[in-house]
Amino acid sequence: MKFWFHNQKKSEEMRFLLARNRYIAFGITAIIVSAGFMGILVYTFTTPMVSTSYYHANVQFRAGTEESYYAIYRQSLEHILKMYDDHPNWIWTLECQGLLIDMAYKDYPDIFEMIQQQNQRGQLELICPQYSHGLAVAYNYKDFAGSVEYNKYLMEDVYNLTISNVIVLQEGQFLPAFPLVKHLGFDTIAVSRDQMSYYNYFADSPLLSYGYGGIDGCYVIPLNWLPCIEAGVLHHQLALSDSERINTGDIEGPYEFNFNPDKMHQIELRHIELERRGNIWKNMSDWVDFCVEKGKIKPMNKFLPENHWTPNRHQSTSRWMAWGNSESDDGLVHARNYYTRNLIQTAEIVNENAYSLNLIDTPTYENNKERILNASIHLWKAQVTDTSGVNPNRNEFIYAINNTRDAQDYANLVIDDIRSKIAGWQMPIQVDCYDKIVINQTVDLTNYTVIDSSLQVTDLKEKYGFDLNIDYSAESLCPHNSSYTNVTLATYIGGIKYEFDLESISLEFLSRRGKYINNTQDSIGVVNNNAACNGQTTEQHIIFMDNWEKVYYSPSLAENTTQLLTRSDYTHPMVEGNEDYIVPLPISNGFLYNEDNNYAIITNNTMRHISVKWEQNYVDFYETELEYNSRYEFICFKGNLEEAHLLANIINPYPTWEMEAY
């Protein structure tokens, strides 16, 4: 009994000691944690606070709908400008297209005046590289640089505005070859950190040095959505959003919005409180200079393909170049734009060539240059991101079609004008857009004759090493319509054209909403039909199966260069194996080269221009919820990289065009 009591006493003492030690440990931990939190709070409240901003105003938000223009100007932008007008020391940044400034000057002079005054006194930074918010990733250097060059002239020389050296593009487009426009005054691009992390790259600096194509001295800003301590300051965003989302709306949907004075008042109160706390106001260009001055800069040591904001949600480029899900048709819109840009390029070469040979006089030459500019302006409008991508409506689709029609009319006027003034133009001519020459002797004309032949799909494996898989799926196919053209997948192999008839897998179907566009352009297969398909969905996959771990492609803007990519470099470890995680490539010149078997797959972008899903074991040219006939043309070329790359460029961005005398 005594022994038991003794042990019980020792056990109670032990429990007491253990409990005491736990309380002491908890107390010490609480002190350390509290001290840590206090340290963070003290550090936070004593660290300088720096703001930047990014108000995104897009007058093409609902392109082709007049009411939306008024809403952007009067329901949103006007009130933001007035707030900053009342507080001239608040520095801020507006990102927009030149078209917004151009329309404000003509239709909303009071808004233009506020923009001009705030910009001229150094309060308002204008990030405004393009005239129209074009889908730059889908096209070539000439398209983007032409829009930038014209817009820079218009903004600076005509409207007396200062344009920022920072590029921020609609839909957060990242262009890895953006240093190619450094000579136009743009040396920095901003991209969100989630876009970088999507491709398994995590920037550890507030500013990254960057170069491409031998052009160095450029920068990339990794944008943070939330406040963070970087470059020795608490850096936060006054705004990082569409301007109309900031001060409009209550219960309205995305298609309409009205000014909300309570929202606007809260924004102003927040700014006043920030000013009271000693906030340092900077624009994005100032932030770059600040980071450089502080030495807070590291090299960007990984090449990232083209991408867009919120890539996890939108699957990056494919959202704008593969997903239907709307009243538009991505592949059709981009192909029509591509055809149009090639026609304009051809007209420009013919005009320059005729003038250099004294075949036309100076007034004719200058008049044609004006027509070419007008054609280009319509093309840039048609290339706006809102005609594809996130649920464009019927008006936006028609906006693209109408602008390309007007652009083609202007370009054809140039050619017809020159044709009428050259008495000797009695035979076909060819315009070589690669060498920028006009060939007018029949004996010198290039002969691109191809021979029709038959080929089994299985023969592709033997000749090239890849298998071809064509997959068509639908919830419910629409009834066959005999007015539709035959749909074929054509491949060109060694100069011989092979056609696979796809009618057996039901590629012919009606628009599910009943469109009323009749485009007779040969390069695009659209027919007129008035029957809807009740919202049923259709998908098309053309898959080249092979070892695609390493692939060469040409980055957008850099169609004259090639870049080697390794698929495993871009797989995020947290999403590996997730079928929704994809790496799409926009292939602006239609070029993909398989390093393993030394062959190229080249798409004809004037037939159908879509992105490609790149995986280790296959590349998939796919579209969802197709609207119209889909005609695809692939050129399969076995040979070295240089020859394949040249072939892609003379098929797509620099083709040879043949024109008759009349």
The pLDDT tens digits for 22-47 are: 666 666 666 665 655 555 454 555 79
In the structure, what pLDDT confidence band is assigned to residue 486 with cuts at 50, 70 and 90?
A: very low
Average pLDDT over residues 298-302: 97
Q: Is 341 left (phi over 0), alpha (psi -120 to 50) or beta?
A: alpha
Average pLDDT over residues 456-464: 62
Check: CB of residue 468 under 8 Å from CB of residue 457. Answer: yes
Diameter over CA atoms, the chain: 130
d(CA 43, CA 268): 27
More confident residue, 520 or 275: 275
Would you state the pLDDT for residue 20? 63
Average pLDDT over residues 587-616: 92
Check: CB of residue 100 under 8 Å from CB of residue 80. Answer: no
CA distances from 446 to 346, 416, 491, 495 (A): 16, 23, 21, 14
Tell whether the model's pLDDT for residue 273 goes beyond 60: yes
Residues contacting 48, CB < 8 A, separation 6+ = 232, 233, 234, 278, 280
More confident residue, 561 or 482: 561
Residues contacting 59, CB < 8 A, separation 6+ = 69, 72, 73, 96, 97, 99, 100, 103
In the structure, what pLDDT confidence band is assigned to residue 337 with cuts at 50, 70 and 90?
A: very high
Residues contacting 43, CB < 8 A, separation 6+ = 229
The answer to which of 38-47, 111-120, 358-367, 449-458 has the lowest mean pLDDT is: 449-458
In the structure, what pLDDT confidence band is assigned to residue 530 with cuts at 50, 70 and 90?
A: very low
3-state secondary structure of 659: strand
Pairing mode of beta strands 233-242, 49-56: parallel
Tell whether the model's pLDDT for residue 446 goes beyond 70: no
More confident residue, 431 or 141: 141
Would you state the pLDDT for residue 655? 85
Average pLDDT over residues 113-127: 99
Would you state the pLDDT for residue 176? 98
CA torsion through residues 132, 136, 141, 145, sign: positive
Dihedral pair phi/psi, residue 189, rounded to 5°: -130, 145
Would you state the pLDDT for residue 572? 78
Mean per-residue pLDDT of the chain: 82
Considering the chain, what percentage of its residues have pLDDT values greater than 70? 75
State the DSSP code for 116. H
Tell whether the model's pLDDT for residue 424 goes beyond 80: no
In the structure, what pLDDT confidence band is assigned to residue 478 with cuts at 50, 70 and 90?
A: very low
Check: CB of residue 613 under 8 Å from CB of residue 589. Answer: no
Would you state the pLDDT for residue 608? 86
d(CA 381, CA 372): 14
The angle, 0 to 180 degrees and rounded to 10, between the axes of the packed helices 141-152 and 330-356 is 70
Radius of gyration over alpha carbons of the chain, in Å?
29
Would you state the pLDDT for residue 606? 86
Tell whether the model's pLDDT for residue 415 goes beyond 60: yes
Average pLDDT over residues 558-583: 86
First-last CA distance in the chain: 123
DSSP readout, 120-187? HTTSEEEE---SS-B-GGGS-HHHHHHHHHHHHIIIIIIS---B-SEE--GGG-B-TTGGGGGGGT--
Would you state the pLDDT for residue 19? 65
More confident residue, 186 or 489: 186
pLDDT tens readout for residues 338-377? 999 999 999 999 999 999 999 999 999 999 999 999 999 9
More confident residue, 44 or 400: 400
Would you state the pLDDT for residue 634? 80
The answer to which of 9-18, 283-292, 379-388, 539-548 has the lowest mean pLDDT is: 9-18
Would you state the pLDDT for residue 511? 28
Would you state the pLDDT for residue 237? 93
d(CA 489, CA 524): 14
d(CA 142, CA 559): 10
Question: Across the strands, what pairs with 550?
Answer: 566
Average pLDDT over residues 155-183: 97
Dihedral pair phi/psi, residue 569, rounded to 5°: -70, -20
Average pLDDT over residues 206-220: 98
Residues contacting 517, CB < 8 A, separation 6+ = 397, 398, 401, 526, 528
The tokens of 313 are what?
């949600």
Question: Across the strands, what pairs with 543?
Answer: 469, 620
In the structure, what pLDDT confidence band is assigned to residue 495 with cuts at 50, 70 and 90?
A: very low
Would you state the pLDDT for residue 6? 52
More confident residue, 121 or 29: 121
Average pLDDT over residues 402-428: 88
Would you state the pLDDT for residue 473? 44
In the structure, what pLDDT confidence band is assigned to residue 183 with cuts at 50, 70 and 90?
A: very high
Q: The whole model's pTM is what?
A: 0.85
Check: CB of residue 181 under 8 Å from CB of residue 145. Answer: yes
Would you state the pLDDT for residue 602? 87
In the structure, what pLDDT confidence band is assigned to residue 5 with cuts at 50, 70 and 90?
A: very low
Environment class of residue 557 by beta-carbon count within 10 Å: exposed (0-12), middle (13-18) or buried (19+)? buried
Which helix (DSSP H) or strand (DSSP E) does residue 343 occupy?
helix 330-356
In the structure, what pLDDT confidence band is assigned to residue 428 with cuts at 50, 70 and 90?
A: confident
Check: CB of residue 380 under 8 Å from CB of residue 403. Answer: no
More confident residue, 16 or 355: 355
More confident residue, 515 or 585: 585
Residues contacting 196, CB < 8 A, separation 6+ = 202, 203, 222, 304
d(CA 546, CA 586): 20
Average pLDDT over residues 52-62: 93
Cα 5 versus chain centre, distance: 81
Would you state the pLDDT for residue 3? 47
d(CA 317, CA 213): 23
More confident residue, 66 or 352: 352
More confident residue, 389 or 436: 436
CA distances from 558 to 49, 177, 191, 570, 615 (A): 39, 6, 19, 21, 23
Would you state the pLDDT for residue 27? 64
